[in-house]
Structure 1
Amino acid sequence: MKKEFITSYLTFYMKATVELAGDFIKVANPNSILKVIPLGVRNKSIPVNQVSSVDESFKLDLKSFIWGIIFILIGLSSFKSSLFAGVLITIYGAITVLSSFQTIMSLQLTSGGSYDISVVVFEKENLAACKQEIEALIQKRYDNTNVAVHTEKQTEALVEALKNK
Structure 2
Amino acid sequence: MKQSFITSYLTFYLHATVALEGNFIKVSNPNTILKVIPLGAQNKTIPVNQVSSVDDSFSLDLKSFIWGVIFAVVGLSMLSSSFIGGLILTAYGVLTVLSSFQTVLSLNLTSGGKHDISVVVFEKSNLLMCKETIEALIQKRYDDTNVAKHTATQTEALVDAIKSSK
User: In the alignment, residue 95 of structure 1 is paired with which amino acid?
Assistant: L
Q: What residue number does 1:23 align with?
A: 23
Q: What residue number does 1:8 align with?
A: 8
How do residues 92-107 of structure 1 correspond to structure 2 at under 5 angstroms? 92-107=92-107
Q: Secondary structure at the match of 2:9?
A: coil
How do residues 138-153 of structure 1 correspond to structure 2 at under 5 angstroms? 138-153=138-153
How do residues 124-143 of structure 1 correspond to structure 2 at under 5 angstroms? 124-143=124-143
1:87, distance to aligned residue in structure 2 (A): 1.1
Deviation string, structure 1 residues 35-93 (Cα, Å, up to 9, x no partner):
00000010000000000000000110000000000001100110111111111110110
User: In the alignment, residue 123 of structure 2 is paired with which amino acid?
Assistant: E
How do residues 18-97 of structure 1 correspond to structure 2 at under 5 angstroms? 18-97=18-97
User: In the alignment, residue 75 of structure 2 is paired with which amino acid?
Assistant: G
1:141, distance to aligned residue in structure 2 (A): 0.2
After the TM superposition, which segments of 4 or more aligned residues of structure 1 sit over 4 Å from their partners? none
- Give the alignment's TM-score, normalised by structure 2: 0.99
User: In the alignment, residue 23 of structure 1 is paired with which amino acid?
Assistant: N
Q: What residue number does 2:119 align with?
A: 119
Higher mean C-alpha displacement, 141-150 vs 75-84 = 75-84
Consecutive unaligned residues in structure 2, runs of 5 or more: none
Q: Secondary structure at the match of 1:52?
A: strand
Q: Distance in 1 between matches of 2:84 and 2:112?
A: 51
Q: Distance in 2 between matches of 1:109 and 1:50?
A: 5
User: In the alignment, residue 153 of structure 2 is paired with which amino acid?
Assistant: K
Deviation string, structure 1 residues 136-157 (Cα, Å, up to 9, x no partner):
0000000000000000000000
Q: What residue number does 1:158 align with?
A: 158
Higher mean C-alpha displacement, 81-90 vs 149-158 = 81-90
RMSD: 0.4
- Give the alignment's TM-score, normalised by structure 1: 0.99
Q: Secondary structure at the match of 2:56?
A: strand
Q: Distance in 2 between matches of 1:12 and 1:83?
A: 25
Q: Secondary structure at the match of 1:35?
A: coil
User: In the alignment, residue 87 of structure 2 is paired with which amino acid?
Assistant: V
